[in-house]
Structure 1
Amino acid sequence: MTPLSQDAMREATRLTRGGRLGEATALLRCVLGGLAGKAARDTPPNVIDGEATSMPDTASPTTPAAPPLGWRRPVRARAGAPDAAQPPIGGQFLARSYAGAAGRLGYKLYIPSTLRDAPAPLLVMLHGCTQSPDDFAAGTRMNALAEEHGCLVAYPAQEKSANAQKCWNWFSPADQHREMGEPALIAGITRAIMAEHRVDPRRVYVAGLSAGGAAAAIMAQAYPDLYAAVGVHSGLACGAARDVPSAFAAMRRGATVLVQPEEGRRIVPTIVFHADKDTTVHPRNGDQVIAQSATAGALRVEVVEGQVAGGHPYRRTIHADASGQAVLEQWLVHGGGHAWSGGSPAGTYTDPRGPDASREMLRFFLEHPRRD
């Protein structure tokens, strides 16, 4: 994908100032989703419609009838690729719905065949723009890992009625706080699963990609008493934006002002994955997710360089406390783009060349039960 243009930011600002918030938001949704949009019939031709369609990889910003930004379609499944969203033999992938004071939200729950009588870990996975629970499960292969470790995995599903591109509204102040909007719905799903199944309350985790990564960062800040650790892949720090123009700015170069956690609040252990060639969400945002969490006092930093066989090189930075316990872990994937690292081509927005973000996140999570 090409970098966000100044023209797009100016256009979003112009629409917002003109009171055309729906059009400005649709533009932002398409940017974060990484999709091409068709020109809306009832809006100016340089505004991307919420109902977007993919462009060929060879398309350019000057292609006739194309939006003003140059896009490439997400990596999608190859013909005949296995569908990782289908659970391994014995597991169940169930469709559920949650209703609460903030509204209603559907989700899918994976129950592994390896589940035992002992309380199990629970991982809540927040998909990116244009994705679905099945797509996200396929791309991350998280259900297969749940079979290995005996974990429950929940995939909340953003509604098109809430966002035309099915993005989590991480840039909306109404969706950034405890017991409000989307955070209340995601926390409600988490608590409903905990009430229905034998879940270890010390081992409840949340992770997400892109808009879902930004939403996961919000959940960690809003509910440090619920989630033991958080994983943010190609996302942004909590409070990185308050409206459409600031969201464009944060995606392009990081947040201008980094919101600091409340004093005395529990620091949620955090693992971040971001690629240094991500032109949808600048990798500086990964640094800011870490910086927002790095208020737990003096941390010892260790940097490890690595290389996936036949894949990407990477830098892994570990921030450990005085006892040697890793509190923060940051993976910078060299040469990767806006995609789930190490994911399966059976899902969208994946980079099979690794490193394996799913396995590393789950490893980090299980090393960090909540300590009250």
Structure 2
Amino acid sequence: MKQPSWSALLNRNAALFKRATQPLRERHRPPSSAGSWLMGLVMAADGPRRYYLFRPASVRFGERLPLLVMLHGCHQDAKSFAASTRMNAVATRERFLVLYPEQPRLCNTQGCWNWFDTQSGRAFAEAGWIMKAVDQVCMLYTADRERIAVAGLSAGASMAALLATRYPQRFKALVMHSGVPPGTASSPVSAVGAMQGRRQPLPPGPAQDWPPLMVIHGDADRVVSARNAGSAALMWSEAAGAHQEPAQEQRRGKRYPMRVTQFKRSREVVATLVEVDRLGHAWSGGAARQRFSDANGPDASRMVWRFVARQFEAKQTKIQSLR
């Protein structure tokens, strides 16, 4: 039998190596967008943690852009979350930075943030390294420290709420999409009841400085009960002494209809509740054919940025009026 040549063996091994490393290369390949997809590392107590940063093209030297922190849900990573939400396209158009911290599978086999594990301290440790990533981006990429907001989906929404209530001075806005309000669970066991909407949230500390909240949730969500959305908005409202405005029915084209309820203190909007008809456990208006994404819903990414931008403008106006 004729033995294969060295050249044939090398070509075959190269093909096998290429096939074996394809998932890894795909994972690190930048999402298609007009800008830079940059990887960074920060150190946590038990090892390095990875994040990705999207920076729009043509950022001028010394230009300080707003920063939106985006926290993925379970069974997602930074790249898939960016692809699903298409937030980088919004960032390109509106000119802001997007930070995507990434949960290692060693910390949670499903890639979930351990937002619920406050009893052991794991939740606070994860919040701590995310803040290190925020600080690093502010230092290396001149993000504007006065214009930082955080948003997330599912477990990412719950971790975003933990961040905003634990470090309220650092964030000007919070958006929870299909998540559980803070103070609802303290262990993996209690997290199950919280996701099913069977636990009442306990405010995690003083609420005077909590950033304004937007909650987006689908009424057909079978993973995280939509009751959590109302609980989160009500918790923010009660903590601020706000009152509930009448709900407004809205629909854009053929997209799912939604009900928008605002909670106000005087003229200030403390919380906004967006309840989307027929939406399941998915990013509303996200990219088609992406997991945990429903293209038929109203565009959550646009809603997120409009809400966040309003809070940035309100804070700037308030600062200028005090001078």
TM-score by structure 2 length? 0.83
- Alpha carbons of structure 1 residues 121 and 87: separation in structure 2 relative to 1, 3 Å: farther
Q: Is the 8 A contact 2:242 2:270 kept in 1?
A: no
Read off the aligned partner of 1:151 and give its amino acid letter: F
What SS class does the counterpart of residue 205 from structure 2 fall into? coil
Read off the aligned partner of 1:143 and give its amino acid letter: N
What SS class does the counterpart of residue 368 from structure 1 fall into? helix
Give 1:155's match in structure 2, choosing from 100, 106, 115.
100
User: 1:147: how far off?
Assistant: 0.4
What SS class does the counterpart of residue 359 from structure 1 fall into? helix
What SS class does the counterpart of residue 193 from structure 1 fall into? helix
Aligned ranges 1:20-99 → 2 under 5 Å: 86-89=31-34, 91-99=35-43
Read off the aligned partner of 1:240 and give its amino acid letter: T
1:127 and 2:72 aligned: yes
What SS class does the counterpart of residue 93 from structure 1 fall into? strand
Q: Is the 8 A contact 1:342 1:352 kept in 2?
A: yes
What SS class does the counterpart of residue 250 from structure 1 fall into? helix
Following the alignment from structure 1 to structure 2, what is the Cα–Cα distance between the partners of residues 271 and 208? 11
Question: Which structure has more RCO (C-alpha within 8 Å, separation ≥ 6)?
Answer: 1
Give 2:203's match in structure 1, choosing from 248, 260, 264.
260
User: 1:101: how far off?
Assistant: 4.4
Read off the aligned partner of 1:241 and give its amino acid letter: A
Read off the aligned partner of 2:70 and give its amino acid letter: M
1:366 and 2:309 aligned: yes
Aligned ranges 1:295-310 → 2 under 5 Å: 295-299=239-243, 301-310=245-254
Following the alignment from structure 2 to structure 1, what is the Cα–Cα distance between the partners of residues 307 and 147? 11
User: 1:148: how far off?
Assistant: 0.9
2:212 is matched with 269
Give 2:275's match in structure 1, choosing from 329, 332, 335.
332
TM-score by structure 1 length? 0.72
Following the alignment from structure 2 to structure 1, what is the Cα–Cα distance between the partners of residues 292 and 198? 21
Q: Is the 8 A contact 1:302 1:319 kept in 2?
A: no
1:285 is matched with 228
1:245 and 2:189 aligned: yes
2:52 is matched with 108
Aligned ranges 1:90-239 → 2 under 5 Å: 91-101=35-45, 103-116=47-60, 117-173=62-118, 174-175=120-121, 180-239=124-183
User: 1:195: how far off?
Assistant: 1.1
Following the alignment from structure 1 to structure 2, what is the Cα–Cα distance between the partners of residues 346 and 94? 25
- Alpha carbons of structure 1 residues 198 and 346: separation in structure 2 relative to 1, 3 Å: farther
1:26 is matched with none
User: 1:87: how far off?
Assistant: 3.8
User: 1:159: how far off?
Assistant: 0.4
Number of residue pairs aligned between Structure 1 and Structure 2: 284
What SS class does the counterpart of residue 176 from structure 2 fall into? strand
Following the alignment from structure 2 to structure 1, what is the Cα–Cα distance between the partners of residues 30 and 224? 26
2:294 is matched with 351
Read off the aligned partner of 1:359 and give its amino acid letter: R
List per-residue Cα deviations over 1:317-349 (Å, max 9, x = no partner).
112231x23221111001110000000025320
Following the alignment from structure 2 to structure 1, what is the Cα–Cα distance between the partners of residues 121 and 184? 12
Q: Is the 8 A contact 1:261 1:292 kept in 2?
A: no
What SS class does the counterpart of residue 170 from structure 2 fall into? coil
- Alpha carbons of structure 1 residues 249 and 264: separation in structure 2 relative to 1, 3 Å: closer
User: 1:225: how far off?
Assistant: 1.1
- Alpha carbons of structure 1 residues 318 and 196: separation in structure 2 relative to 1, 3 Å: same
Larger radius of gyration: 2
Following the alignment from structure 1 to structure 2, what is the Cα–Cα distance between the partners of residues 150 and 162? 33
Following the alignment from structure 1 to structure 2, what is the Cα–Cα distance between the partners of residues 214 and 263? 18
What SS class does the counterpart of residue 367 from structure 1 fall into? helix
Q: Is the 8 A contact 2:249 2:258 kept in 1?
A: yes
Following the alignment from structure 2 to structure 1, what is the Cα–Cα distance between the partners of residues 264 and 276? 21
What SS class does the counterpart of residue 245 from structure 2 fall into? strand
Q: Is the 8 A contact 1:306 1:314 kept in 2?
A: yes
